[in-house]
Homo-oligomer: A and B are copies of this chain.
């Protein structure tokens, strides 16, 4: 028997909402709007993100992986602002009300809400081609948000974690796995990104600018440089942080290519004055210094001091076909 929309929401999402709720949620799921109490003297930061079947993921992707992919990408935007997560709303278009799908999705969602201390406060479910939209809401002290526009000449350019893994994970899905031993790790990096919330909070005090790597390092770094008044950068390719998995499965050339242009790593790229770098030494997440901000407005690549070029650029939905299709 088909489930009614209301029963469906009640059964699968009311529990998530209740489990993740806190005192700031005056009224959650179940009225025309949620009623929320913003903390005093804080700025609200919000971001909305959509995943579409066929554009961002393959048909029949398990629902729990979609939950972690959706929330990971959305929370990564809060991380890039140095924001503390607070509230989540979801808009789900589903071809059918499939109980098994909803169970897997909502259970993983609940785990992530608790892990990242974000409360599900509202949503909309509609019938349609599989499309998942999440809006995340977070808070920063007044004037403390990390933005793209603060980079300065001679800032060090840093990235967290390793780059290119997400693109490699996608490749493994599309074309099969060359090195079976490593695929699970790379696939996990694609489906379950690690939003760098704690790092973002720490960077508020030290970094001049920050962005999360969603379009690809070169493309996202270009956003910082453009927003900061038309600056440039020198990047050392040998400093790009690459995982053992990507190197072993795809080799250094391909790994570097994907590290620069692959996108959807959801690591942070930030610029910081050299003298502040030591303040990040205590953080559990690895930080790599990959270059320096320059006055000259181009991004120049060097391999052990020798200038080089690389083909391809960041990922742009409307410019070219998505690799998923």
Asked if A257 lies at the interface with its beta carbon under 8 angstroms from chain B, I say no
Which residues of A from 38 to 74 have beta carbons under 8 Å from B?
38, 40, 42-56
The answer to whether B317 and A31 touch across the interface, beta carbons within 8 angstroms, is no
Interface bits A136-147 vs B (CB < 8 Å: 1, else 0): 011010100101
Asked if A34 lies at the interface with its beta carbon under 8 angstroms from chain B, I say yes
The answer to whether B129 and A52 touch across the interface, beta carbons within 8 angstroms, is yes
> Chain A: how many interface residues by the 8 Å CB criterion?
75
The answer to whether B5 and A319 touch across the interface, beta carbons within 8 angstroms, is yes
Residues of B within 8 Å of A91, CB to CB, are 48-50, 91, 133, 135
Our pick among B5, B37, B77, B122 for the contact of A46 (Cβ within 8 Å) is B122
The answer to whether A81 and B126 touch across the interface, beta carbons within 8 angstroms, is no
The answer to whether A89 and B46 touch across the interface, beta carbons within 8 angstroms, is yes
CB of A124, distance to nearest CB on chain B (Å): 5
Name the residue on B nearest A321 (C-beta).
B127
The answer to whether A127 and B212 touch across the interface, beta carbons within 8 angstroms, is no
CB of A100, distance to nearest CB on chain B (Å): 15
Residues of B within 8 Å of A123, CB to CB, are 48
CB of A316, distance to nearest CB on chain B (Å): 5
The answer to whether B124 and A33 touch across the interface, beta carbons within 8 angstroms, is no
Residues of B within 8 Å of A97, CB to CB, are 318
Residues of B within 8 Å of A77, CB to CB, are 32-33
Known A33-B83, A55-B126, A148-B31; judge A121-B316 contact (CB<8 A).
no
Known A52-B128, A55-B127, A133-B133; judge A5-B318 contact (CB<8 A).
yes
CB of A230, distance to nearest CB on chain B (Å): 15
Asked if A284 lies at the interface with its beta carbon under 8 angstroms from chain B, I say no
Residues of B within 8 Å of A27, CB to CB, are 145, 147
The answer to whether A50 and B126 touch across the interface, beta carbons within 8 angstroms, is yes
Residues of B within 8 Å of A46, CB to CB, are 33-34, 36, 87, 89, 121-122, 137
- A residues with a Cβ closer than 8 A to B are 2-6, 8, 26-27, 30-38, 40, 42-56, 76-78, 80-81, 83, 87, 89-91, 93, 96-97, 121-129, 131, 133, 135, 137-138, 140, 142, 145, 147-149, 210-212, 227, 316-319, 322
